[in-house]
Amino acid sequence: MDWNPDEPPEAGDPLVTTASDTPSVRDALRLVQDELAGAADGLQDDQLTALVTEIQQAGRVFVTGGGRSGLALRMHAMRLMHLGLTVHVVGETTTPAIGSGDLLLVASGSGTTGGAVAAAETAVSVDARVVALTTDGGSTLAGIAHRVVVIPAAQKTDHGGTASRQYSGSLFEQALLLVLDATFHTLWTVDGTPAEDLWPRHANLE
């Protein structure tokens, strides 16, 4: 539901308070849940299917993204490793060069983050595939990528409160993590490997 700061809130809106009460974590949870549900409803099935297919067909998977988007992709990299895929986090000292037949998953809410755009350009130049996850399907990053997953959420510089009442791109980063976890679950379901057979791949040096 869009929110206009120039209009008075309606009764029942998340985080609406009276003089006698204050916002609660429970109110904030409802807001986050509602916004995530709206973002999920706006995802395109064909784009999600293409994401799964690209991962299935990749020789190796590389992931990159800045800030909290990058953290979500690192979590996804761990799950793909648990599934038995060869996966690398861009920027780690042991990450090899990307090449033909590989896949780069890159996330940027705006689709203009310098590091994300540069990584995508490099990947394309060596005949690797690129899937971009962004809020802007017309962005520079989206134009470079072979496949795009548009996540309908506010960019971090959107402070108007219309796309999201949360702070600085939070909805995009939350929805990104859900999309990636749902992608892993789909891949795992298709693969059919029992959970107990994945477990030995969990880190044992921590």
* Contact (CB, 8 A) for 49 and 183: no
Residues in the chain: 206
Phi/psi of residue 8, nearest 5 degrees = -65, 145
Burial (0-12, 13-18, 19+ Cβ within 10 Å), 180: buried
Write down the catalytic residue from 35, 54, 92, 173.
173
d(CA 124, CA 65): 17
Annotation marks residue 92 as catalytic: no
* Contact (CB, 8 A) for 100 and 127: yes
d(CA 86, CA 4): 46
The residues that are catalytic are 173
